[in-house]
Amino acid sequence: MPDSWTFAVARDDLGRTTLTEGTTPALTDGEALLRVDRVGLTANNITYAVLGDSMRYWQFFPPGPRGLGPQWGLPPLWGFAEVVESTVAGVPAGQRVYGYLPPAGHLVVRPDRVDAAGFRDASGHRADLPSPYNGYRSTTGDPAYREDQEDLLVLFRPLFFTSFMLADRVVDHDFHGAAALVLSSASSKTAYAAAFELHGRGPRLVGLTSPGNLAFTRSLGCYDDVLTYDDIDALDAVPTVYLDLSGAPSTRAALRARLGDLLVRDVAVGLTTQIPNADAAGEVFFAPVQIRKRRQDWGRDGLDRRFAEAWQRFAGVVGDWLDVRVDAGPDALRRAWSETLAGRTPPRVGQIVRL
Ligand SMILES: NC(=O)c1ccc[n+]([C@@H]2O[C@H](COP(=O)([O-])OP(=O)(O)OC[C@H]3O[C@@H](n4cnc5c(N)ncnc54)[C@H](OP(=O)(O)O)[C@@H]3O)[C@@H](O)[C@H]2O)c1
Give the chain's domain count.
Answer: 2
Give the Cβ contact number of residue 316 at 10 Å. Answer: 9
Residue 43 Cα to ligand 1 midpoint, Å, equals 5
Range of the domain at 200: 158-287
Q: Which of 261, 287, 313 is the last residue of a domain?
A: 287
pLDDT digits (tens, 9 = 90+) for 239-266: 999 999 999 999 999 999 999 999 999 9
In a domain, 308, yes or no: no
The domain spanning residue 332 has which CATH number?
A: 3.90.180.10
Same domain, 183 and 106: no
Instruction: Name the residue of 100, 131, 163, 188 to mutate for ligand 1: max ligand atoms within 8 A of Cβ.
Output: 188
Same domain, 169 and 135: no
Same domain, 133 and 258: no
DSSP state of 14: E
Q: Are 34 and 97 in contact (CB under 8 A)?
A: yes
In this prediction, the residues of the chain whose per-residue pLDDT falls under 50 are none
What was the pLDDT predicted at 174? Answer: 96
In a domain, 212, yes or no: yes
In a domain, 313, yes or no: no
Q: Which of 287, 312, 331 is the last residue of a domain?
A: 287
Same domain, 245 and 341: no
Same domain, 282 and 343: no
In a domain, 292, yes or no: no
Same domain, 175 and 259: yes
Strand order of the β-sheet with 240-244 is 225-228, 204-209, 180-183, 240-244, 263-268, 283-284
Same domain, 62 and 102: yes
What was the pLDDT predicted at 1? Answer: 54
Same domain, 84 and 46: yes
Same domain, 164 and 126: no
What was the pLDDT predicted at 132? Answer: 87
Same domain, 189 and 239: yes
In a domain, 314, yes or no: no
- DSSP letters spanning 162-189: HHHHHHHHHHHTGGGG-SEEEESSTTSH
What was the pLDDT predicted at 93? Answer: 97
Residue 38 Cα to ligand 1 midpoint, Å, equals 21
Task: Give the number of residues written for the chain.
Answer: 355
What was the pLDDT predicted at 288? Answer: 86
The domain spanning residue 175 has which CATH number?
A: 3.40.50.720
| DSSP SS3 for 346 | coil
Same domain, 170 and 267: yes
Residues 352, 240: Cα–Cα separation, whole Å: 36
Q: Which of 267, 287, 307 is the last residue of a domain?
A: 287
Same domain, 172 and 283: yes
What was the pLDDT predicted at 323? Answer: 97
Q: Are 7 and 49 in contact (CB under 8 A)?
A: no
Residues with CB under 6 A from ligand 1: 42-44, 47, 158-159, 162, 185-190, 209-210, 213, 245-246, 269-273, 285-287, 343, 347
In a domain, 307, yes or no: no
Residue nearest to ligand 1 atom 33, measured at CA: 273
In a domain, 81, yes or no: yes
In a domain, 77, yes or no: yes
Give the Cβ contact number of residue 28 at 10 Å. Answer: 9
Contacting residues for 75 by C-beta, under 8 A, at least 6 apart: 9, 45, 46, 48, 49, 52, 57, 103, 337
| DSSP SS3 for 90 | coil
pLDDT digits (tens, 9 = 90+) for 272-306: 999 999 999 989 998 888 989 999 999 989 998 99
